Amino acid sequence: MSEIDLRSDTVTKPSDEMREAMATAPVGDDVYAEDPTINRLQELAAELLGFEAGLFVPSGTMGNQVAIWSHTEAGEEVILEGDSHIYIYELATMSAFSGVMPRTIKTDDGVLPVEEVKNSIHPDKYYLPDTGLIALENSHNNQGGRVYPFEEMRELLDYARSVNIPVHLDGARVFNASDASGVPVDELVDGFDSVMFCLSKGLGAPVGSVLVGSEEFIENALVGRKRFGGGMRQAGIIAAAGVYALENNVERLAEDHENARRLAEALKKMGFMITPEPTETNIFFANTTEIGVDAEELAGELKEDGIVIGPRDKENIRFVTHLDVNEEDIDVTIDAIESYLTS
Ligand code: TLP
């Protein structure tokens, strides 16, 4: 029996059909822009999101960091949310590689209040740093896959445009956000200056992300990608998985959302505290404080039944559904947790 792995949607393995597409992909040297499969993926991504151009990058982190490098000058500030992936999990790369300083706004829901953004931008004085970029995240990983409210996002984008500050979207899971909100993905990202989305999460590809923006932005980002060590050669073999993912695995994300919702509801009945409530996409957090269960111990027990979960500490677990977890796996997980609690 294969494991049921609920730690992250990054754990998906390429299907036989995806592997077939990879094995038969035409390839060329991408540093010469001669890989037909990469070119196709970049065009497809740009078209789907409504941008002029795209750039295939090895990871979401590189996509975000190349975007920051491309938008900013050393010595500037980047405004972003205090629990965002770029701030928490990207090893201060914006400071190390781009020479910019994060200016974080801590929130309870991942949503940047426009007033606070305004207050975070310094008056135009030679002795105060300029704001080079604002970065948002949708869906928000550390907020349990919450979707950025559409109207608030539009308000922020309009404000940023009025003061001429570019806005980047960490859209690692933007297709999940689109499905959950019912807003077509190109409308959801309209008004951003750049968007990074991941192929290697819920879309099920083994590796890769795409950065999209204007032609001018992508030309600059191409330099950034090379500098960051992301210039690839016959990488059409992996880009093919991305093309396959975009053509086959977007619509089914709704199943992951349904599975997450069902699992979260069952855990709630068992006494776990769930965030967000209700679950919005394929991620949620379950807290064990009220039922007095040690999350790490629970993880150890479940592992013996072939169920892998990701406790963050003794009381908090992040659950993530994806295309390698089906309805039956959710039933098996619910039963296993229930029997642990009642034993
Ligand atoms: N997220 C991973 C971990 O790094 C936490 C996960 O398991 O969820 N933006 C967002 C919103 C992400 O969640 C991630 C990865 C990234 C960027 C970075 O992508 P990669 O791992 O491809 O560098």
Q: What is the pLDDT of residues 256-295, one digit of tens each?
A: 999 999 999 999 999 999 999 999 999 999 999 999 999 9
200 CA closest ligand 1 atom index: 22
| For residues 219-245, average pLDDT | 98
Our answer on whether the CB atom of 10 is closer than 6 Å to any ligand 1 atom is yes
Ligand 1 centroid from CA 341, angstroms: 31
The tens digit of pLDDT for each residue in 47-96 reads: 999 999 999 999 999 999 999 999 999 999 999 999 999 999 999 999 99
CA dihedral of residues 283, 287, 291, 292 (deg, nearest 10): 130
Name which residue sits closest to atom 3 of ligand 1, judged by CA: 89
Dig out the tokens for 312 from the structure.
């963050």
pLDDT of residue 49: 98
CB atoms within 10 A of CB 92: 10
Amino acid at 343: S
Beta-strand relationship, 4-5 and 307-308? parallel
Our answer on whether the CB atom of 141 is closer than 6 Å to any ligand 1 atom is yes
Range(s) within the chain of domains with CATH label 3.40.640.10: 13-248
On whether the CB atoms of residues 65 and 95 are closer than 8 A, the answer is: no
Distance CA 148, CA 214 (A): 23
Range(s) within the chain of domains with CATH label 3.90.1150.10: 252-342
| Beta-ladder partners of 168 | 135, 194
137 CA closest ligand 1 atom index: 11
pLDDT, averaged across the chain: 98
CB atoms within 10 A of CB 119: 10
Ligand 1 centroid from CA 178, angstroms: 18
pLDDT of residue 338: 97
pLDDT of residue 22: 98
Return the sign of the alpha-carbon dihedral for residues 16, 22, 24, 25: positive
CA 234-239-244 angle, 5° bins: 145
Q: Give percent above pLDDT 90 in the chain.
A: 99
Our answer on whether the CB atom of 8 is closer than 6 Å to any ligand 1 atom is yes
Among residues 33, 2, 49, 22, the alpha carbon closest in space to that of 305 is found at 2
Residue 1: which pLDDT band, with cuts at 50, 70 and 90?
A: low
pLDDT higher than threshold 80 for residue 156: yes
CATH fold, domain 252-342, is Aspartate Aminotransferase, domain 1 (3.90.1150)
140 CA closest ligand 1 atom index: 11
Dig out the tokens for 108 from the structure.
């309870």
Ligand 1 centroid from CA 85, angstroms: 7
The tens digit of pLDDT for each residue in 103-144 reads: 999 999 999 999 999 999 999 999 999 999 999 999 999 999
pLDDT higher than threshold 70 for residue 5: yes
Ligand 1 centroid from CA 60, angstroms: 6
| Contacts of 138 by beta carbon, 8 Å cutoff, 6+ apart | 147, 148, 153, 169, 170, 171, 173, 174, 177, 188
Residue 219: which pLDDT band, with cuts at 50, 70 and 90?
A: very high
Among residues 225, 172, 169, the alpha carbon closest in space to that of 197 is found at 172
Architecture of domain 13-248: 3-Layer(aba) Sandwich (3.40)
Dig out the tokens for 119 from the structure.
């207050």
